[in-house]
Amino acid sequence: MSVPLTLLGLLEQEPRHGYDLKRDYDTFFGRGKPLPYGQVYSTLSRLARDGKVVISEVEAGAGPDRKRYVITDRGATEVDQWLTQPVEPEPHLQTVLFAKVVLALMLDRPAEDYLDTQRRAHLQRMRELTEVKRTGGLVDALLADHGLYHLEADLRWIETTGARLDALRRTVRP
């Protein structure tokens, strides 16, 4: 997740205070990992330094002054470029799952046990995401679907790898 570009996108929608940016980020993009206030304000500071946002007004308050941030043309151009570029397709051919299985085999440890443990962890996470789909709104359901599809692919890989462990063992331990 690109926090700076996401915040710029929210600012393109409408000018906001840092507090409002955090709230909207957490509502739509921060599921399970809310954005710390310090990160919001340090990101806004860098975006202002780089000419991608400006402060349009400052309101005095009980605490620190409240600054309203506005995206600049430069920031809007960057958001547009980001939105039109495809995300690099995953998965990459270097994964932790694969590395653990191969290392377990190389070290003559029970890779089958690792795969079983990983399968249980994936199934538990799938139950959690299914509950999110059942109880949440549309945004939650779409995010849960994305996670579920990835977990399903991992489970297929775990099953296929489990069936090929003997051959893989012979390959990595000649």
Q: Three-state SS string across the chain, please?
A: CCHHHHHHHHHHHCCEEHHHHHHHHHHHCCCCCCCCHHHHHHHHHHHHHCCCEEEEEEECCCCCCEEEEEECHHHHHHHHHHHHCCCCCCCCCCCHHHHHHHHHHHCCCCHHHHHHHHHHHHHHHHHHHHHHHHHCCHHHHHHHHHHHHHHHHHHHHHHHHHHCHHHHHHHHCC
Question: Tell me, what's the pLDDT at 94?
Answer: 64
Give dist(CA 82, CA 90) in Å, integer. Answer: 18
pTM comes to 0.73
Q: Give yes or no for a cis peptide into 15 (omega within 30° of 0).
A: no
Question: Tell me, what's the pLDDT at 93?
Answer: 65
Question: Tell me, what's the pLDDT at 1?
Answer: 67
pLDDT along the chain (174 residues), means of 10: 92 94 91 90 97 89 81 96 84 79 92 94 96 94 94 94 95 86
Question: Tell me, what's the pLDDT at 72?
Answer: 97
